[in-house]
Amino acid sequence: MDEKLRGKLVDVLGKRLNRQLLYYLDICARCSICKDACHQYTTTKDVQYLPAHRAELLRRVYKTYFGWASKLVPALYEGKQIDDDFLDELYKATYSCTGCRRCMVYCPYGIDTTQILAVAKEILLAAGKGPELLAMLADVAIEKGENIDLFKEAIIATLQETEKELQEKVGDPKASIPIDKEGADILYVALAGTHTIIPAAIVFHLAGVDWTLSMFEAANYGYFLGDVAKAKAIAQRIVDEAKRLHVKGVVLAECGHAYRVMKVLQEVWAQEKYPFEVSSILQVVARYVEEGRIKVDPSRIQGSVTYHDPCQIGRNGGIFEEPRNVLRHICSDFREMTPNRERNWCCGGGGGLVAQPDLEEFRMRTGERKAHQIRQTEAEIVVSPCENCRLQIEGLNERYGLGVRVSSLMDVLVQALGPVVTPVSDLVPVEVG
Amino acid sequence: MDWFSYLVAGVMVYVAVVVFVLGMAYRFYQWAKVPKTSVRLAVFPKPANRAAKWFVAVKNALIFPQVIEVDPKMWLFSMLFHLGLLGAFVGHLRLLHEFTPLVGALGSEGMERLSFWGGSTMGIVLSVAVVYLLVRRMKSPYKDVSVPEDYILLLLILAVVTMGNHLRFFGDVPTADYRAYLQSLLAFKPAFPAALAASSIKSALVLHVFLANLLLIYFPFGKLVHVVGTFATNLVRSD
């Protein structure tokens, strides 16, 4: 590696050293209590996945270049130079992490390993070593934002089909999927495909909500990539759309990272205050159910149900009770996983891992904790309001022979809406009793 | 006081205190001069209000109860280790100034007994805990995560504690003489009282002070700053 690039990479690190990061880099005692918190370390026993070790890689570089005492005797800290071997090791430790932040819960100091890995990602990207697939997916999303007029016709054409499907389901030819509607109360941001559009459209129709569908997908590959500029541009498409339409609130489909990006990160990245509320569809439907705005018939969901807290929705997003409240209304046998809520085990598919085919075997292996947890509940249906989690749990279901049905919350909710709606789940067929 | 004792148990003590104070000030300055990220790094559920946030942060920093769930053995030894250090630290304060109210309550003989049993217990607990931490670190995966600093600090603490134990169990110097030495330090006229200077454990004391000086000098420059940093990061956890 030439000195110029090395200097540039050290610069990337230096520019990112905010106060919290300095704390994290300075105080870790390497007690490695985090090892038992990480699903990847506990299932592989491979030290490169031990959270403290992942962070230590960057810390060793930090010690070499920053702080006069450690620069004096870098050997005390096994100080490392940035070179190609280091970057390869860093890549493995960084892009394998699902970013679940379970280690942060158990760390006596509360060190946020993902913050350290975020800097590692920026260094890797600056060295041209980011995962190409994630970068490509991010670029496609940004391009769509820049040329939305070219896409609009096609979106509207597709939606006509989806709208017909909706009208059949609810038995009302006037039911619609509005798009680009100014002054609507809600801008609903779905995922790619129609499986998160139809259930939401049914609920909005039955609850008489004034809503409009976003032309963009919620998913943000820029965030997984760790490229803040790209992540920001992708999220900004939705912010701009919401501002243009003067909606009161942006509601995100069942997607973990999209919720965290919009709720927690984007406002800080863009340094602006949203003129609208951001919520998850989970919070919205929980309110409708509680208020009786939509009528549910619990007898329609047969079988025991358990709930998987997606890391970005629960621990990192703060939504624990709303989906549980909905489930308690619509099913008679609800079971908690152990542990749950902020202590829940990561499914193993987060952080963009699901989108990277070369990590599939690793995902399945490190999902063993989740598989075990699901099996222990002896539940028949696993509900999880995150697409990544669902795809991963589907995989685990097959790999570990769990024999469960995996569903989004909206799909089970729609089934509990009574005879007016026929089942819609095209992601996973759920039996109706 | 011979010249070597004067250098180590006198001059070097001042140097160590100055380096510690300036070093910590420098560390705080380094932390303070860079801005905080405005990204909220909390894990949920967050404490309901400011008071609860501080309560939770202090509780986590002092007791870290969540560790009991995943590594109860480490939690126990970590507690013994830190409480041992705290106990030893508090015990030494008696050498700066006698705990007069306690003497009033226990009588001077009772106080000596408390000091002997308390100090002995802390010394033994600390030794056992340090050895546990050291042995733990010599095994995988802890070994693979550790850097020389980790071992050096544990060995240094073990050495300080061992010399301290030596003074307690093999020493014949009365408390009053140690107090006289520390008073002389405070008066900037470091000197050993005659009995101490003539005692067989004088060199052990000098070594004990030397190692403690090293620990104090190193403190601001390595991971020991977790002692203060943990309060900050535990607050970030609820930001």
Residues of A in contact with B232 (CB under 8 A): 23
Chain A residues with CB inside 8 Å of B234's CB?
109-110
* Mean of pLDDT values over A209-220: 97
Nearest residue, CB atoms, B38 vs list A29, A45, A268? A268
Could you give the percent of chain A with pLDDT greater than 90?
91
Q: Chain B closest CA to A23's CA: distance in Å?
A: 6
At residue A69 the predicted structure's pLDDT band, cuts being 50, 70 and 90, is: confident
- CB contact under 8 Å between A316 and B149, yes or no, is no
Q: Which token pair is A46?
A: 């491979």
pLDDT confidence of A1, banded at 50, 70, 90?
confident
**Average pLDDT, whole number, for chain A?**
94
* B interface test, pick of A70, A107, A263, A315 with most B CB neighbours within 10 Å: A107
The residue among A22, A111, A267, A319 with the most chain B CBs within 10 A of its CB, best to mutate, is: A22
pLDDT of residue A420: 64
Q: b vs e for A329-366, b when ≥16 Cβ sit within 10 Å of the residue's Cβ?
A: ebbeebbebeebbbbbbbbbbbbbbbbbeebeebbbeb
Chain B residue with minimal CA distance to A14? B34
Please check whether residue A70 touches B, CB under 8 A: yes
- Supply the DSSP string of B112-171, one letter for each residue: HHHHHHHHHHHHHHHHHHHHHHHHHHTSTTHHHH--HHHHHHHHHHHHHHHHHHHHHHH-
Per-residue pLDDT tens digits for A330-359: 999 999 999 999 999 999 999 999 999 999
**Are the CB atoms for A78 and B222 separated by under 8 Å?**
no
Tokens of residue A345, six digits: 């085990």
Average pLDDT over residues B45-49: 95
CA distance A90 to chain B (A): 14
pLDDT of residue A422: 56
* Mean pLDDT on B23-34: 96
Side-chain-side CA neighbours of residue B37 (13 Å): 25
Q: Which domains, ranges and CATH numbers included, belong to chain B?
A: 3-31+68-234 (1.20.950.20)
Class of A134-286 in CATH: alpha beta
Task: Calculate how close chain A gets to B45, using CA atoms only, in Å.
Answer: 6
Of the candidates A33, A77, A101, the beta carbon closest to that of B67 is on: A33
B48 touching chain A per CB within 8 A: no
Cβ separation A314–B44 shorter than 8 A: yes
Two domains, one topology: A3-130 and A134-286 = no
Looking at chain A from residue 218 to 247, which residues have their Cβ under 8 Å from any Cβ of chain B?
A: none
Q: What is the pTM of this model?
A: 0.94
Q: State the best of B53, B140, B226, B231 to mutate against chain A, taking most chain A CBs within 10 Å.
A: B226
The terminus-to-terminus CA distance of chain A in angstroms comes to: 64
Tell me which chain A residue has its CA closest to the CA of residue B218: A69
Which residue does chain B place closest to A72, by CA atoms?
B221
Q: B83 exposed, middle or buried (CB, 10 Å; 0-12, 13-18, 19+)?
A: middle
Residue count (chain B): 239
For B32, nearest residue in chain A (alpha carbons): A19
pLDDT at residue A163 is higher than 70 = yes
What CATH architecture applies to the domain A3-130? Answer: Orthogonal Bundle (1.10)
Nearest residue, CB atoms, B39 vs list A24, A56, A265: A265
Model pLDDT for residues B110-140, shown as the tens digit of each residue: 999 999 999 999 999 999 999 999 999 999 9
Whether residues A23 and B31 touch (CB distance < 8 A) is answered with yes
Q: Which of A90, A31, A35 is nearest to A60 (CA)?
A: A90
- Which tokens is A382 given? 């696993």
Mean pLDDT of A138-156: 93
Please list the residues that pair with A307 across neighbouring strands. A383
Q: Is the pLDDT of residue A427 over 60?
A: no
Say yes or no to pLDDT of A425 above 60.
Answer: no
At A429, is the pLDDT very low, low, confident or very high (cuts 50, 70, 90)?
Answer: very low
> For residue A430, what pLDDT is reported?
41
Integer Cα distance of B141 and A45 in angstroms: 8
- β-strand partners of A305: A334, A381
ipTM of model over 0.85: yes
What is the CATH number assigned to the segment(s) A294-415?
3.40.50
| Edge-first strand listing for the sheet containing A249-252 | A211-213, A186-189, A249-252, A277-280
Question: Does the distance separating the beta carbons of A56 and B150 come in below 8 Å?
Answer: no
B214 at the A interface (CB within 8 A)? Answer: no
pLDDT of residue A428: 44
- Sorted by where each begins, the domain ranges of chain A are 3-130, 134-286, 294-415
